Amino acid sequence: MSRPNQRILADRSVSEIGLGCMNVSHAYGIPLEPAQARQLFHAALDLGIDHFDTAALYGFGRNEELIGDTLHTVRQRLFLASKCGMTGVDGKRVIDGRPETLKQTCKESLRRLRTDVIDLYYLHRWDKRVPIEDSVGALADLVREGHIRSIGLSEVSAQTLRTAHGVHPIAAVQSEYSLWTRNPEIALLTTCRELGVALVAFSPLGRGFLANGIPDPRDFVEKDIRRTMPRFNPPHFGRNRQLLDQLNRIAWEAGCTAAQLSIAWLLAKAPFVLPIVGTTSIAHLEEDIAASKVRLSTDTIDKLEQLINEDTVSGARYPAETLAEIDTEETLHN
């Protein structure tokens, strides 16, 4: 089994492909049973993954608890990332970037994760009612107090990153980035390179689409968040499915699966890009990690980018109300 290479994240050498743990507890329907979650986490470690990404929001704290309960005995082997600023309150998702809220969330996360310090702590969403300087200032306090080692931001623009970086060094920005979501290429990728900030790419497989994992969106369970996303609904999904035959053909020519091809494309974009894969399947995780050994020619990369890009993908990545919450640059397409 191929094991992932290493890249630098927050001054640490970590597996270049990390595990995004959201799927275990949140967003895509039925959560894993605790025993299944433990098996997945241990399988990730066995595959060489040491970068585990979670958030207070996922399962409204349950995801952090599962990680803490399962992995606290091997804490020294892990790079733990979590997030604040968006949590569950009375059963509802709430964005709250006030300093006192962020500090309280961190305290609760440390307890659930069964650790004294979080390696990378992201502001999950910028609460636009609170100046970014105030929210990042609170996280800087947590660094000085030894509760977190480094600060990250999630779903922010290049300008917001610059402003925040002026308050305290930002180690990483987490953003959706894949063949079919190219928004970071508008400005964020260049700014991360300039400032020495890692870009942690979530949903590198287009929420399953690029892995041929969605035969029919009508089969999504009731609480699957993809039900609300335009790309998975008519007329967009039918148009997008037309891209898959050629994607699979390029993957066959490259000697890998479509999932591995998509992850390898991200790894080739820049040495400071670190994808995090999200899955509840050990078999899929093994497939994804093997992408670390795939090398793509310039010709293959060109074919991929001509096939799947902001002009050929139909539909916005989020519904309008969600796009209004986030700060990322958006293309004029779709």
Query: What is the pLDDT, as a whole number, of residue 15?
Result: 98
DSSP character for 324?
A: T
For residues 179-199, average pLDDT: 98
Is 1 within a domain?
no
Is 329 within a domain?
no
Is 178 within a domain?
yes
Confidence bin at 1 (pLDDT 50/70/90)? low
Burial 279-312 (b: 16+ CB within 10 A, else e): bbebebbbbbbbbbebebeeebeebbeeebebeb
Domain count, the chain: 1
Confidence bin at 184 (pLDDT 50/70/90)? very high
Confidence bin at 332 (pLDDT 50/70/90)? very low
Domain range for 38:
6-323
DSSP bridge pairs for 79? 51
pLDDT at 334 > cutoff 80: no
> Per residue in 191-240, pLDDT tens?
999 999 999 999 999 999 999 989 999 999 988 999 999 999 999 999 99
Is 43 within a domain?
yes
Query: What is the pLDDT, as a whole number, of residue 248?
Result: 98
CATH number at residue 74: 3.20.20.100
pLDDT at 162 > cutoff 90: yes
> Residue 6 burial by CB count (10 A; 0-12/13-18/19+): exposed, middle or buried?
middle
Q: Which residues are catalytic?
A: 58
pLDDT at 296 > cutoff 60: yes
Per-chain mean pLDDT for the chain: 96
| Token digits of residue 326 | 């986030």
DSSP character for 32?
A: P
Is 49 within a domain?
yes
> DSSP 3-state assignment of 205?
coil
Is 140 within a domain?
yes
Q: Which residues contact 83 (CB under 8 A, 6 or more apart)?
A: 54, 55, 56, 57, 121, 122, 123, 124, 152, 154
Residue whose C-alpha is closest to residue 152's, from 184, 106, 105, 199:
199
Is 85 within a domain?
yes
Is 283 within a domain?
yes
| Token digits of residue 38 | 């433990």
pLDDT at 3 > cutoff 80: no
